[in-house]
Structure 1
């Protein structure tokens, strides 16, 4: 998961700072805290609830305070996730350029049983512009819909989209104990990561491949595959 801070209200169980080589993974940017709140905020002190408030969050800090970083550090973060038996890896970041080392790292994580969730990107109407790592076949690629369940104008689209989820004007936690409204496929990916955690919680014996397929099968169709993938994330069957 991206680097959360304690105010996000989720159960922060640990993490690692790749940049400094220590366990000080506090979020100095805010993006990671926002994503983490969508995934797992617990409603503490009258706050909001995330998709999966019972999940244990692990912060892997591989980007600097401006949200920039090196692919090599991201790969090190994935290796940390593998070594520490992380079940769901939210990747709310992306790049338009293919990187062979990143492809190898994500494939390895997938083969080790981690569910990988990636933001499709915010490239709008330019079709076929899904970012990496979301573009890799073994990563769940997530696009964004607005409050009317229409594809967000900024959301990337294309045949590799797997799932759509809310990504417009999403209110969530922010660094320093604050709340903030943000938009982007990063927010959409966070909803799907929380959904993946719920699937595993309800089906503890399910492996990652089956869990990913099940998550996609829950989707409600919205429109053409190139615009909406397999449809809208629907977790209502998990509440029965």
Structure 2
């Protein structure tokens, strides 16, 4: 079993998690802008799709018209993650940059482990092996009831991807798993009610990032 750990690095690794429609992209952009104002070097990325290889995998897992077997789906996400961490995230952290990422291994645990009912431990261990145990310094969980999230997605008037189109029971399992993950690792997670105004959410995120920076003597954890 791969051990989960926060590797020492000069940068800061912040991930945003939550159900579809919770506002992760908005909050990632607001944090990016704020850090840039502070003179920080920021690498903003996402999973899947943070590399050229990832873009191809993203098209398969989210937009493939045919069925993708659940275990194959989990493996594709893990493959994307392994390449992304090795080629984008770790080099940025080693340089001392702040990495802001839309989704990481907690999404796989929630969507494939709980949503697809593949099992929390199996999916988590797969991602930890793929990333050599790398955990974020901070994971912001934007929690939103599935019906509210669906209303936001409907308002966007865009076609649903494979996961967004899943039934209510699937999304209920995903939300419950995210909350359970946060309860198990309270030091890493910041859980916020995504129904709040974007400005209020952004302020809470900035407060937590500032505290992390002060605790480490800089933006990230010196190593």
TM-score (norm 2): 0.39
TM-score (norm 1): 0.37
Higher RCO (Cα < 8 Å, 6 or more apart): 2
